[in-house]
Structure 1
Amino acid sequence: MKTTKKIVKKLFNKNYMLKPRYTTYMKKHKLDPNIILYQSYQGKSMTGNPYAVFKELLSDKSMTHVWALDNDMNINPEYGHLDNVKFVTIHSKDYLRYLTTAKYLINNTSFPYYFQKMEGQIYINTWHGTPLKTLGLDIKDTHPTAHANIQRNLLQTDYLVMPNSFTAEKLLDSHHCNGIFGGKVLDTGYPRVDLTLSYPSDKMKNILGVEKSKKIILYAPTWRGQVGRESDTSQKLLEDVNYLKDNIPSEYCVLLKAHYFTYDYFKKNNLEHLCVPDGIDTNELLSAIDVLITDYSSIFFDFIPTGRPVLYYAEDFEEYERTRGFYIDTKTLPGPICSTLEQLAESISSLSQIKEDYREKYNAFLETYCSKDDGQATRRFIDIIFHDKNSDYVKKVVNHKTKILMHCGSFENNGITVSAISLLNSIDFEKYDVTVTTTGKMTGAKERNLNKLDKRVKVIHRIGTLNKTIWEGFKHFAVREFPISPDSFLPADLYKRELKRIIGDTVFDVGIDFGGYNILWSLLIANGSFNKKIIYQHNDMLMEYQKIINGKQRHKKNLKIIFSIYKKYDVAASVSKSALEANAENLKEYFLDFGTKLVYVNNAINYEHILNMKDQAEFATYKGKPCLVLPRDNATNLIEGIVLDPQETKFINIGRLSPEKGQDKLISAFAELCSEYDNLKLYIVGEGVLEKALKDQAKRLKVSDRVVFTGQLSNAFALLNLCDCFVLSSNYEGQGLVLLEALVLNKPTISTDVTGAHSVLEGGYGLLVDNTAEALREGMERFIKGEKLSNKTFDYKSYNIEALDMFYSMLE
């Protein structure tokens, strides 16, 4: 009953129904080659590059021009009466209809998160300026997902129209599109600058109500206020404008090109005469401007082709550079930087000298960033896109590397994340181009783990949800929630379409579900168009299927579906020989007769990182004794109990506090030893669902003063290196990556003889014992008595070469 109510509620929810309606339109509509949809600045205005192209194409009566705006107030009345110009509100039914029928889509920012280009549609993204300040992920302290929709739009773009090659490079790099952008770059110059060079200045002065004899100074600062506190910055701008009016030669008038928040403030206070009206196109406005004053705005790049002077005014250039960052050295700017209004007024009074002083820098900017701003950019644009003319201005980014798309799980603190980071930081980037995907909430642990990746690894953050019809949504829900056979009921087209929404036109050679537990990503990669599809098995997967946490089989529902689609993968890769043997036997019904190749690929280890981190231990005095200061994931804490007493024998276990890790057996074994031996300590590093139960167990067995739960550590290697013996108590493992890490540090090692661990320690690298508390106790006692636990030294360099070779061979 609850499920039925939930479904009915969604069907009457306008926002929920937007995607089913859009999807239905995509499946039903055919493209009309005579319709162009324009959108500029999320529908805030009819301006920018889309507007310049629109004006040039307007005379073609065979074309229907549709403008997407966020409200009717943004309609330019000059075009409201034309039969071949239509206006639609973003997210409306008409918007969705034109979004799925217009053959040409022209935007200078991004379409909504649900947008995905239809087969045959041509998407032209013009962006909106040459960047002085950093973009996307290059912005300091930016949220990792803040620019995900722009990235998604870029990956669907057919033509990226750029003012210069510098902008193309910075835009693609800062949104992790370098190397995977599937479209073409049109290095043609900006159509909007044509308007600056061609619009009659007298006509613009008339629109502005400025006398023809007056020279105009335009003040166009970047908005730096806060929503809800617009008056703070607006009042300062008013004071600045009034100061300039009172302290510059009478031949000039001063106008303010303000952010719309600021404009609203001025309007409410009857001061809008000081501002340029919002509806006026900025580039047409620049045709009448004699002097431009700005700070960090890219507007000055559009103004430079006029040859007129630019002045920079900001009190916080150094602070802004420190907190936001610039791509261009501000010392090279083609005009003086003024930090006070007095300096600015003085510069205005000495423009002739300034033009002479900055002539060389001005010309350098013209050559580097504006060489194609000759008034013909729009014509080049139209010839290439609408008349299909060959041109040297068109550049296709070619990448001959093998392109890999990997979903690595949640990137939360767990073994899969550790193994993914180790692999991705060891891979040969000369041969492979790697992109990883994430989904879900960006937690602190997830962000920290992503930051550990090599900077050459690109990240695509999935935002938004599935574009699905009502029927597809029901099938997707039913497969996940009810005992329905996935084989006949899976909506494969839905998953193909969703992957396309995320990665756009990018063609990846190999798709890898490295996590192996996430239903959606297993389905997306299984149904994707890759030359090879690989799914990892990080454990004895039947044991994972049967695992019970808090009375529930946590993975049963997910793995039921994932097992059923193994046959859609070319390779199923276990992470150890013993895990392969278990999975091949236990899951044979899912592989027989389907052609899926079963292999094992050892986890790579980042031994250089391990060896470096082991020595990054800090010490402090606590209760008169030396203590290790351990950095947690979100703070640095002196953890009570970590007193490095040289008289103690220190055991350590690292792993999730979860049933399969068997720490309950370890605590029982340790408690028995404590009744016979003094000076023993057990450190348990990690976090998980059993933390309270394990702490209660230690208290019940009266060893809570000897068992130290450290929580999740950002550097567990420092503590591991200072302990005497590593103990793995797992009930099963895929491989036991932490065993390898202990062996890199040459630590005596004890492990239960279970799947995964056996493959690591067999042959004399450590002590394997039965999977019981008693066997663990006996093994630990043998170490206490001084028995040597291994007769081989782990050659981690050779191991890693072999592990990577196994991975590379699987990709071929």
Structure 2
Amino acid sequence: MLASPNSVKNTCSNEVQRDRTLIRMKSLISRAKRFVHSQFHAHWRTEPIKPGTVLYESFNGNGMLCNPEAIFRQLLATPDMRQLRHIWVLADLRQFRSTVAEFAGARNVTFVRYGTPSYYRALATSEYLINNATFPPQFSKRPGQTYLNTWHGTPLKRMGYDIDRGALGTANIIRNFVAADYLLAANPFMAEQMYEKAYKLSGISRSLIIEEGYPRIDRQALDTDSVAAGRARLTSAGIPLGDRTIVLYAPTWKGASFARPEDDIDQLLDHIARLTAQIDTSKYVVLLKTHQIVHALARSRPELSRLLVPNNIPTNVVLGLTGVLITDYSSIFFDFLATGRPILFFTPDLADYSDSRGLYFEPEDWPGPVCRTSDELAVELAEILVTGTLPAGSAARYRTSQQKFCGQEDGRVSARIIDIVFRGNVRRHHVRPAVSQNRPSILMYLGGMRSNGITTSALNLLNNIDHSRFDVSACFIQSKAPASIDNQLAINPAVRQFPRVGGINGSALDQLARHLDFRRGRISRHQEQPTQKTLWDDEWTRCFGDSHFDFVVDFSGYGPFWAALLLHSPESIRSIWLHNDLAADAHRKITGKKRMLHSLTQIFTLYEQYDHLVSVSPTLSAINNRQLAPYAAPAKFTFALNTADAKQILSAASQDLRETTRNLETGITPDWVEVLLADDKTTNFVSVGRLSPEKNQARLIRAFNIVHTATPTTRLVLVGDGPLRGQLESLIRKLGLEKSVVLTGEIPNPYTVLAASDCFALSSNYEGQPMVILEALVLGLPIVTVEFGSVKNALPPGFGLVVPQTDEDLAEGLNAFLTGEVRSGTFDHAAYTRLAVEQFYSAIGAARPEDLIQQM
């Protein structure tokens, strides 16, 4: 019997409901676990640091590996370090049971599982912290802790900001780097290119860079007993090694994301099979060493059970056993250089990899033959196995690379690192601070990075600041929203980014107190109440480590959390921006509610703790000074005009309107685009802004209705979205303007619409210094605007027309454009920008005396 449609429908509905319930339950369980862990972490952060405890972590607990493992074993063998207690982080104690078993009898060595309460206890209370990657977002170094970040290799492939879109992945890395007391560099290239340049630590980091080589490379110097022991470990792992020479194939991971590597195991198997077919397998064996993040994929493949090097055998021990190394772009070859043995590079995807990731050295500089096919690789390998040496050209490059990258590798690096970090003998060794460029440093909070006037103004300013004069950093909340990511990618490449990841540490009770203070209007207690001050000070350290900034700027001015946090910057001159008539903003109603009243009032109470309160025009400064007088002294109020990025505006405006508005999934262009571009002799008025009460687009629509009734060959285009869209659509229908008024919604490039229009119109109740007026000026558009408090600073003399705030007067202004009475002039945007930028320097207290004289 066939099931009835209703029965099938009910079954599907029940399954969907059951799936939703399971998802909600999993989410609640996950949130509960995070809460429990955060409370354990908060508790242990209040406990004393345990002297003599050392916490080690490699690749988020993926084994006892890399530099931390080498330092750990050297500490165990160092007589004056026997008092230390060692805690190792492992992702799975069962998976690494052989490691745990090795130290079962050692009372001073313990293990914790990554992410557990025990882990956070050790992270919060250990005196020494050693990591070859990064601690999680919750981590914040406490006073009394010493943090050594060893990283995990000299880079061949580009890192950090040197990668296209690389800034998106730097958040937790740079946070760890600026928190570290010591950064370990295997060689000067790594110190300069990776730490100081690729991660922009030059000029801001207070960490000491150690250039004494890599401890893990010490592990490659194996005596006869160590060689026998290492080979026995491989044999016991199921690899039929015998007395054969090891040819180690060690490719790096592939894919777009480190968190989700590409599964290329089938390709690796094919490469190994081709190599094995070309060599004497009675003398040589090809083994596979995968990257840490790929190992789980490889371990699950039975075909690799007799070829795969176990993850619990240190890589450098395996390198010490290896006769020939084959790799691609992995930093493993820098380590192997110290052995003096042959290296082959196998790069069938060289062009694609170089284009997508980028390389620091071209293949012609690599210390070994570079092969593009498996057959070519097999021929080169066979020749090297016969001769035991590299070809002449490769041998010369090999020697050069050894001198450049292995100058400190003498088998005693671990001992020197211990002398520096644990005994404090810094001056005896190659230890130096990160390069200081002697530029004043500025930290700017940019806001929520949504596409709005504040974000545009911030991005423009970052483009116009003189970066040869100032070291500039930007902070904001890390977001996955496409528009926010686009705005983050638009940040000037000279700017260091501190995207905030993770949340504020602290017990549930302290967090509740913080929230209650905010709700009760007592946010100023962030400095007054000791527990709250500690909470906020810790959050500053969590976000910015040991960084110090000369000038700290809350450029948003609308977020109470950030307004409070930035006041915990050590030894800074602090400024906060006032982009609007904030008293009016506080009382602005959206759908009948004053949604910003409480948050803005809280920010007002912080004004007395800031050094400068910066409005975006002189008139607006006077308005805010008058309206906000109860909150701050008059001398604190100042101004700096918004800047415009004319080059970017003109470039964006020159793009094709159809292309910039086409839906990427459907390929369809909105109907209004063709209407706007039609050669129908229609005059297009345009306005850009959020559809919210203070912008008062309803007045503009009513005024346009008056104009359109008399002159039907007119059109109004409103670019933007917001809470009043429904009301505006109703008004358009009521007035019968459906074919003459276009609501485009939010679009990624509004400049193409401005460029396709004839006159810009603004109908706001109040404004600061509208970015859209600056943009219209740059594009040479005639401007009609209603009068608002700061309009005389927003519209330069001789430009545009200002009319009273009524429907009829605005209609007269639009008609004045139609009769040729409103014209555009030539806006000297370069001179304007120079003035605005110097005003910014002056407003934050960074102007030089000679600059102030020039402005007088």
Under a length normalisation based on structure 2, what TM-score does the superposition of the two structures give? 0.87
* 1:78 alignment counterpart: 102
Match 2:65 to one of 38, 41, 47: 47
2:330 match: secondary structure: coil
* 1:624 alignment counterpart: none
For structure 2, the 5+ residue unaligned runs are 1-24, 846-856
Q: CA deviation at 1:785?
A: 2.1
Structure 1 position 365 matched with structure 2 position 401: yes
Q: CA deviation at 1:522?
A: 0.9
Match 2:698 to one of 664, 674, 679: 664
* 2:679 alignment counterpart: 645
* 1:406 alignment counterpart: 444
User: Judging changes above 3 Å, is the alpha-carbon distance between structure 1 residues 741 and 16 closer, same or farther for their aligned structure 2 residues?
Assistant: same
Structure-to-structure mapping, 1:590-629, within 5 angstroms: 590-592=631-633, 597-614=636-653, 616-618=654-656, 629=658
Report if the CA contact (8 A) 2:801-2:822 is conserved. no
Report if the CA contact (8 A) 2:692-2:723 is conserved. yes
Q: CA deviation at 1:158?
A: 0.9
Question: Which amino acid in the other structure matches residue 315 of structure 1?
Answer: P
Distance 1:675 1:243 in 2: 80
User: Judging changes above 3 Å, is the alpha-carbon distance between structure 1 residues 330 and 86 closer, same or farther for their aligned structure 2 residues?
Assistant: same
Distance 1:796 1:228 in 2: 45
Question: Which amino acid in the other structure matches residue 475 of structure 2?
Answer: T
* 2:7 alignment counterpart: none
Report if the CA contact (8 A) 2:643-2:837 is conserved. yes
2:472 match: secondary structure: strand
The C-alpha deviation readout for 1:19-64, integer Å capped at 9, x for no partner, is: 23222222222341x1111111111111110111111110332111
User: Judging changes above 3 Å, is the alpha-carbon distance between structure 1 residues 12 and 277 closer, same or farther for their aligned structure 2 residues?
Assistant: closer
Match 2:616 to one of 575, 586, 590: 575
Report if the CA contact (8 A) 1:37-1:104 is conserved. yes
1:466 match: secondary structure: coil
Match 1:429 to one of 435, 454, 467: 467
* 1:545 alignment counterpart: 586
Structure-to-structure mapping, 1:16-35, within 5 angstroms: 16-32=35-51, 34-35=52-53
Q: CA deviation at 1:409?
A: 1.0
2:128 match: secondary structure: strand
* 1:13 alignment counterpart: 32
User: Judging changes above 3 Å, is the alpha-carbon distance between structure 1 residues 797 and 267 closer, same or farther for their aligned structure 2 residues?
Assistant: closer
Overall identity of the aligned pairs, in % = 34
Structure 1 position 208 matched with structure 2 position 234: yes
Q: CA deviation at 1:646?
A: 7.0
The C-alpha deviation readout for 1:193-230, integer Å capped at 9, x for no partner, is: 11112453333223323767431111222244899999
Q: CA deviation at 1:674?
A: 0.9
* Stretch moving more, 716-725 or 301-310: 716-725
* 2:432 alignment counterpart: 395
Distance 2:594 2:726 in 1: 20
* Stretch moving more, 500-509 or 527-536: 527-536
* Stretch moving more, 68-77 or 199-208: 199-208
Question: Which amino acid in the other structure matches residue 377 of structure 1?
Answer: V
User: Judging changes above 3 Å, is the alpha-carbon distance between structure 1 residues 748 and 255 closer, same or farther for their aligned structure 2 residues?
Assistant: closer
Distance 1:452 1:567 in 2: 33
Distance 1:608 1:227 in 2: 35
* 1:623 alignment counterpart: none
Question: Which amino acid in the other structure matches residue 701 of structure 1?
Answer: L
Q: CA deviation at 1:514?
A: 0.4
Structure 1 position 220 matched with structure 2 position 250: yes
User: Judging changes above 3 Å, is the alpha-carbon distance between structure 1 residues 285 and 659 closer, same or farther for their aligned structure 2 residues?
Assistant: same
Distance 2:600 2:652 in 1: 36
2:516 match: secondary structure: helix
Report if the CA contact (8 A) 2:589-2:595 is conserved. yes
Distance 1:308 1:331 in 2: 19
Structure-to-structure mapping, 1:101-140, within 5 angstroms: 101-140=125-164
Q: CA deviation at 1:609?
A: 2.8
* 2:120 alignment counterpart: 96
Match 2:523 to one of 469, 480, 486: 486
The C-alpha deviation readout for 1:550-607, integer Å capped at 9, x for no partner, is: 2322212311211111111111111112221221121211114xx8711111111222
Report if the CA contact (8 A) 1:156-1:504 is conserved. yes
* Stretch moving more, 328-337 or 671-680: 328-337
Question: Which amino acid in the other structure matches residue 132 of structure 2?
Answer: N
1:241 match: secondary structure: helix
Report if the CA contact (8 A) 2:203-2:438 is conserved. no
Q: CA deviation at 1:694?
A: 2.0
For structure 1, the 5+ residue unaligned runs are 1-5, 619-627
Match 1:416 to one of 454, 458, 473: 454
Q: CA deviation at 1:252?
A: 1.1
Structure 1 position 315 matched with structure 2 position 352: no
Q: CA deviation at 1:437?
A: 1.0
The C-alpha deviation readout for 1:732-756, integer Å capped at 9, x for no partner, is: 0011222222223333221111122
Instruction: Please report the RMSD computed on the Cα atoms of aligned residues, expressed in angstroms.
Output: 2.8
* 1:272 alignment counterpart: 305
* Stretch moving more, 229-238 or 71-80: 229-238
Distance 1:71 1:90 in 2: 8
Q: CA deviation at 1:155?
A: 1.3
User: Judging changes above 3 Å, is the alpha-carbon distance between structure 1 residues 13 and 244 closer, same or farther for their aligned structure 2 residues?
Assistant: same
Q: CA deviation at 1:730?
A: 0.6
Q: CA deviation at 1:712?
A: 3.3
Question: Which amino acid in the other structure matches residue 278 of structure 1?
Answer: N
* 1:64 alignment counterpart: 85
The C-alpha deviation readout for 1:740-781, integer Å capped at 9, x for no partner, is: 222233332211111222322364433211112111011112
Report if the CA contact (8 A) 1:202-1:288 is conserved. no
Q: CA deviation at 1:393?
A: 1.2
Structure-to-structure mapping, 1:686-701, within 5 angstroms: 686-701=720-735
Question: Which amino acid in the other structure matches residue 133 of structure 1?
Answer: K
Q: CA deviation at 1:719?
A: 3.6
Report if the CA contact (8 A) 1:234-1:266 is conserved. no
Distance 2:215 2:732 in 1: 72
Match 2:481 to one of 439, 443, 451: 443
Under a length normalisation based on structure 1, what TM-score does the superposition of the two structures give? 0.91
Q: CA deviation at 1:661?
A: 0.9
Match 2:776 to one of 742, 748, 759: 742
Q: CA deviation at 1:339?
A: 3.0
* 1:622 alignment counterpart: none
Q: CA deviation at 1:408?
A: 1.2
Report if the CA contact (8 A) 1:23-1:467 is conserved. yes
* 2:184 alignment counterpart: 161
* Stretch moving more, 409-418 or 489-498: 489-498
* 2:560 alignment counterpart: 519
* 1:453 alignment counterpart: 491
Distance 2:512 2:606 in 1: 19
1:350 match: secondary structure: helix
1:255 match: secondary structure: strand
Structure 1 position 302 matched with structure 2 position 335: yes
Distance 2:206 2:367 in 1: 35
Report if the CA contact (8 A) 2:576-2:610 is conserved. yes
Q: CA deviation at 1:483?
A: 3.4
User: Judging changes above 3 Å, is the alpha-carbon distance between structure 1 residues 315 and 213 closer, same or farther for their aligned structure 2 residues?
Assistant: same
Structure 1 position 245 matched with structure 2 position 276: yes
Report if the CA contact (8 A) 1:633-1:714 is conserved. no
Question: Which amino acid in the other structure matches residue 41 of structure 2?
Answer: Y
Q: CA deviation at 1:105?
A: 0.8
* 1:621 alignment counterpart: none
Distance 1:779 1:508 in 2: 48
* Stretch moving more, 338-347 or 728-737: 338-347
* Stretch moving more, 152-161 or 12-21: 12-21
Report if the CA contact (8 A) 1:36-1:66 is conserved. yes
Q: CA deviation at 1:718?
A: 4.0
Q: CA deviation at 1:160?
A: 0.5
1:106 match: secondary structure: strand
Distance 1:388 1:179 in 2: 24
